[in-house]
Amino acid sequence: MRAVELDAVRVVYRSGWSIRALVRGDPASTSRVALDGLSLVVGPGESVGLTGPNGAGKTTVLRVLAGLVVPVAGAARVAGVDVAAEPTRVAARVGFVSVDDRSFFHRLSVWENLRFFAAMYGIGPEDADRRLRRLGALGVDGLLSAPFRVLSAGQRARVALARGLLHDPSVLLLDEVTRSMDEASRAGVWGLLEGFCGAGGAIVVASHDPLDLQRVSRAITLVDGRLA
């Protein structure tokens, strides 16, 4: 079975409704094509790197697969399950890792954050602790009691990766995750990710970094929402 499949996916971002626009009688005044009929298949055990200029659609691919954006045409499937039709079922199989550190609760500790998000997957504190110990290569153990707000950018990225892996996903979506990491951290992370693929997991990573793209099994360049 294919781990990830995009079938002629078209995504159009619209400005959305606003009270002002509705009053003017122009509810969707602007739009931009983010993905233009993109097709992509990723098999189990494979890691695919998405690269390309800003606005090429790399992050949008990840957001479609995470169920945050629904295509206006085409279909996205994870392990054969349609993302738009069954986002909750797909969410249990996907780990979405973004370096947006606003996605954590800054006033809580790292452990409290991870425990909160583990609970969203129905994982209790003891089970979360056990799963976290399996992710030792990320070096998150020593950060658990620290408030999230005091972490460096690289440490936050490692915590984000731990969050994305806690529920044992079969597909990992990484958005520029290694951007702020030092050499040692990056090597540790890629060691872990290669182990993930070795166990049958699939990875789609959006990155500009040639060092990341050297580690993936296949790199794809996107331009204007299409394969280059």
Binding mask 163-202 for another protein (x = CB under 8 A): x---------------------------------------
> Measured from the CB atom, is 17 or 195 closer to another protein?
17
> Measured from the CB atom, is 3 or 159 closer to another protein?
159
**67 sits near another protein (criterion: CB under 8 A):** yes
* Contact with another protein (CB under 8 A) among 52, 58, 63, 158: 63
Binding mask 92-131 for another protein (x = CB under 8 A): x-x-x-x-x-xxxx-----------x--xxx---------
**149 sits near another protein (criterion: CB under 8 A):** no
**17 sits near another protein (criterion: CB under 8 A):** yes
**DSSP symbols for the chain:** --SEEEEEEEEEEE----HHHHHHT-SS--EEEEEEEEEEEE-TT-EEEEE-STTSSHHHHHHHHTTSS--SEEEEEETTEETTT-HHHHHTTEEEEE--GGGS-TTSBHHHHHHHHHHHTT--HHHHHHHHHHTGGG--GGGTTSBGGGS-HHHHHHHHHHHHHTT--SEEEEESTTTT--HHHHHHHHHHHHHHHHTT-EEEEE---HHHHHHSSEEEEEETTEE-
Stretch that binds another protein, among 40-48, 91-99, 141-149, 181-189 (CB under 8 A): 91-99
Residues that bind another protein (CB under 8 A): 11, 13-19, 34, 60, 63, 66-70, 72, 84, 87-89, 91-92, 94, 96, 98, 100, 102-105, 117, 120-122, 163
